[in-house]
Amino acid sequence: MSDLVQMPLQAEIPPPLLTIEGLKVHYPVRHSWRGTTLAVKAVDGIDLSLRPGECLGLVGESGCGKSSVAQALLGLVPATAGRISLDGHDITGRGRVDALQLARSAQMVFQDPMSSLNPRQTIREILSGPLRLHGMGSRDERDERVAEMLRLVGMKPDAADRRPHEFSGGQRQRLCIARALIVRPKLVICDEPVSALDVSIRAQIINLLLDLKTELGIALLLISHDLGVVEHMSDRIAVMYLGRIVEEGGWHEIFTQPRHPYTQALISAIPEPMRRDRLPTRLTGEMPSPLSPPQGCAFHPRCPVAIAACRSGDAPAFTRAGPDHRARCHLIDPGTSHA
């Protein structure tokens, strides 16, 4: 047998499409009577990466900073610190030309499909808008691409001549997905893509996004407050609390061996009785203000298993819980499988 045949076959791991290093997004707030300026630390030093064709679920309660991450990615808010790299290019603080180029590589699907579609335009005008913006194709080619995208998202070609109000919420979200994909982006950021939709049609949109991810090989950054939504779509999951990632791992690790009490509480909130029994952690109280985060572990005021060390000092550093699994909690012993 030749050396070539004996060599182990190694799957080539592609380099990350998106890398976020030490990202901070702080919003200055003027204190009215003291006259001082404070900072709302919406995002306070996060690291994330996303490979081509992968879906990363970014999950956490409303106000945890996950939407600020998306906005910083798209250049809609400035990064206070850190570095964002997309497809090998540093896109932190890019200029207008770079921003336009970025818009081709990364597109966004928003929570409310009605407010993100111009009611005065036909679907053809809406879908071909990004193509016109990027100078892509002749008029006939753009029309062809619109018809192709409508078919891809399960809509009939005659939808092109109608207006947004003529469609249901689920159909409008399909149209938003078509608009996001029409310029063939490498990354699509979905910010709560099903939370404004009827429960009965959420599964259809989730399945559509999954099919498109497989068919087109796009990477998805899925932002949601609902771990139940993230569960069905994500290859990896990052759990965010008060501006920081508190646990990150593969789908299997997060759902079978959640190590951070906050992740455990989010999983126990998924309405499936067997899960609730297995993970009895309940989430109580409100998330503290990012203007004055608690000392020590920011989760300690709500944590049912907090110890004295959690209430002072610095926030816990990441502890590795497995090859692709890490969490910030003092109670994690890297040698064990449960917190």
- Residues at the site binding ligand SF4, with contacts judged by CB under 6 A: 260-261, 297, 299-300, 303, 305-306, 310, 316, 329-331
- Ramachandran sector of residue 305 (left: φ over 0; alpha: ψ -120 to 50; beta: rest): alpha
Nearer to ligand SF4, 178 or 306 (CB): 306
Q: How far is the CB of 250 from ligand SF4 (least distance, A)?
A: 21
Q: How far is the CB of 103 from ligand SF4 (least distance, A)?
A: 38
DSSP code at position 13: P
Nearer to ligand SF4, 176 or 303 (CB): 303
Q: How far is the CB of 332 from ligand SF4 (least distance, A)?
A: 8
Closest CA to 170 of 131, 144, 209: 209
Closest CA to 189 of 86, 109, 290: 109
Q: How far is the CB of 316 from ligand SF4 (least distance, A)?
A: 5
Nearer to ligand SF4, 186 or 300 (CB): 300
Answer whether 265's CB lies under 8 Å from 246's CB.
no
Nearer to ligand SF4, 150 or 269 (CB): 269
Nearer to ligand SF4, 53 or 322 (CB): 322
Which helix (H) or strand (E) element contains residue 30? strand 18-30
Residue 240: partners with Cβ closer than 8 Å, 6 or more residues away:
46, 58, 59, 60, 64, 65, 66, 69, 246
Neighbours of 163 (CB within 10 A): 15
Q: How far is the CB of 268 from ligand SF4 (least distance, A)?
A: 15
